[in-house]
A and B are shown apart, each in its own frame.
Chain A
Amino acid sequence: MNRNLQLLWNGFLPENPIFRLALSLCPAVAVTTSVKNGLLLGIAVVFVQVFSSCTVAIFRSFIHPRIRIPAYVLIIATWVSVIDMILPVVSPEAYKQVALFVKLIVVFAIIISRLELFASKEPFVPSFYDGLGMGIGFTFGLVITGAIRELFGAGKLYGFDVLGFEPLLIMILPTGGFFVIGFIMATFNYLEFKITGKIPKSGGAH
């Protein structure tokens, strides 16, 4: 397989930011009350991740190692400010639901950890694919959690009424988010156990 494609796939499943690396869990629980919110935040994260990965990959030789963290934070904050100005224009209704979290993308651990672990060492093109893969994996995690919670909590999928009743209200309460993520993580552990025969160690959760 082509290396770039492999980087894409890597972010999608083997190193899925939410379920495998257990990074950036706050938005995974908070905005996933519906598929739409998850998708919108996911797109914002893809944008920020790709652009800051590329920026860091281009300027990596100019950034002194000792001040790299503040420099990364500032780069991320700049791109977050950009997307924070674009989104309300594109879809004002949906933006209201995730407004706080779009600003909080600055502190999502997944982005800074990709900059630190990948983009600061690799050239432009692989960094781009790595950022894209991680962003898509993150979006996938948000959407799947959102789908489960929306289906069981509100009986809907992407705003359309599927079941016609509300089976488990608890799923759209804060509690439901924690439960669903816990179950999905356990499912991933189970699948990996079936395929490789060993239980993986849980991610660091930071």
Chain B
Amino acid sequence: MRIHRFWMAAAAAFVLLLFVLGPALASTPGTGSFKKDKEIEISFGIPVDESWATNPANYSVYEKPDPDIKMAVVSVSLDPRKVTATLRFKDTLNKAAEYIVEAKDIVSEGKVIGSRSFMVKKSEVQILFSLLIGAALISNYVFTKYLGLCIFFGVSQKKETAIGMGMTFTVVMVLSAIMCWALNAFVLVPYHLGFLKVIVFIGIVAIFVQAVDTMLRKVNPYLFKRLGVYLVLITTNCIILAVPLDNALKDHGSLESLIFALGAGVGFAIALFLMACVRERLEVCRVPRMYQGLPIAFIVTGLFALAFLGFSGLAIF
């Protein structure tokens, strides 16, 4: 009986939500999507006349912040069902930006049915996913931005500690990035205290490292012992300060900051694990005596960096 009542309440809430959101959804402008670097696809929802639709002069396209700068439309093609049109542009589009496509006096079956505008931008999920991949692989903090080398060389001798460090680091990274974002957005920016960024961020990082240190001491004393001094040294890792600074610089929102930090942490963990695998094998190799220890590690890292250059052209969306 009680379950019954719960479902009825849920259904009522859903219907109410539809009533509230329905008009809002109906009045929003149409949406389009990016196809290739120079193409946008928009869907009219009804069949339109081909002679109208393929005339580039009927469309005006601009980036949302500056409506005065029009993008030059080279040609328009209509699909056989006459519902979706593909606009081809002269210049490459900036996929991170939001574009507005205005279609003037749409003609459907010989009748003019008025103008309509379309919003074209990447969906939130796409943006977040490309941020994640970007931070983890394309611009990996260790191999392409050369940050965090201290811990990278210090803890990468054994796979086991490398994994433990990677996970601990990611946790600290995400927590402190979110906290830094909140303080930056709600305190530092409104009160024009931008010059205090460095001091505030490093303070937050130090707090979280201390917290993880205290927790790990009880939860996993074995790993705690293995990580040793490097656990405290997370505080003096460049990445952990560079990510909040990057977030503040690029005006990332809360979710974007979180995903970016997650990507950076995962990227660091990947780098650490790869390096640990190689260094375990280096132990039994005959390395020239001058190169034993750090010098050979540096050269291996250089080779990894070369390999990671291969990710630089990666674009999923």
Residue numbers of A with Cβ under 8 A of B are: 22-26, 29-30, 69-70, 73-74, 77-78, 80-81, 84-85, 100, 103-104, 106-109, 112, 170, 173-179, 181-183, 185-187, 189-190, 193, 199, 201-206
Contact = CB atoms under 8 A, between A and B. Distances in A.
B199 A81 contact: yes
B309 interface: yes
B198 A81 contact: yes
B206 A73 contact: yes
In which size bucket is the chain B interface?
Answer: 35 or more
Contacts of B296: 182
B145 A30 contact: yes
B1 to A, nearest CB: 58
Contacts of A77: 198-199, 202-203
Interface in B144-190: 144-151, 153-154
Given A186-B291, A190-B290, A203-B294, A81 B146 contact: no
Contacts of A84: 195, 198
Main secondary structure of the interface of A (DSSP, over half): helix
Nearest to B236: A107
Given A73-B235, A206-B233, A80 B198 contact: yes
Contacts of A203: 294
B241 interface: yes
Interface of B: 143-151, 153-154, 195-199, 202-203, 206, 229-230, 232-233, 235-238, 240-242, 245-246, 288-299, 301-303, 305-306, 309
Contact of B309 (A109, A173, A186, A206): A173
Contacts, number: 146
Given A29-B149, A80-B198, A178-B301, A202 B235 contact: no
A176 B233 CA distance: 27
A173 B305 CA distance: 9
Kindly name the residue among A112, A176, A186, A202 whose own CB sees the greatest number of chain B CB atoms within 10 A.
A186
Kindly name the residue among B206, B297, B302, B303 whose own CB sees the greatest number of chain A CB atoms within 10 A.
B302
A206 B230 contact: yes
A24 B233 CA distance: 12
Contacts of B295: 182-183, 185-186, 189, 202
A178 B302 contact: yes
Contacts of B293: 201-202
Contacts of A170: 306
Contacts of B289: 189, 193, 199
A112 B229 CA distance: 14
Contacts of A181: 298
Given A30-B147, A190-B290, A205-B153, A175 B303 contact: yes
A82 to B, nearest CB: 10
A-B residue pairs, 8 tightest by C-beta:
A202-B293, A182-B298, A178-B302, A205-B153, A29-B146, A202-B294, A30-B146, A77-B199
A43 B246 CA distance: 24
B147 A206 contact: no
B242 A109 contact: no
Nearest to B296: A182
Contacts of A112: 236
A70 B205 CA distance: 11
B298 A178 contact: yes
Given A74-B202, A182-B298, A186-B288, 8 more contacts: A25-B149, A103-B241, A104-B245, A106-B198, A173-B306, A175-B303, A182-B291, A189-B295
Given A174-B143, A174-B146, A178-B298, A106 B202 contact: yes
Contact of A74 (B153, B203, B297): B203
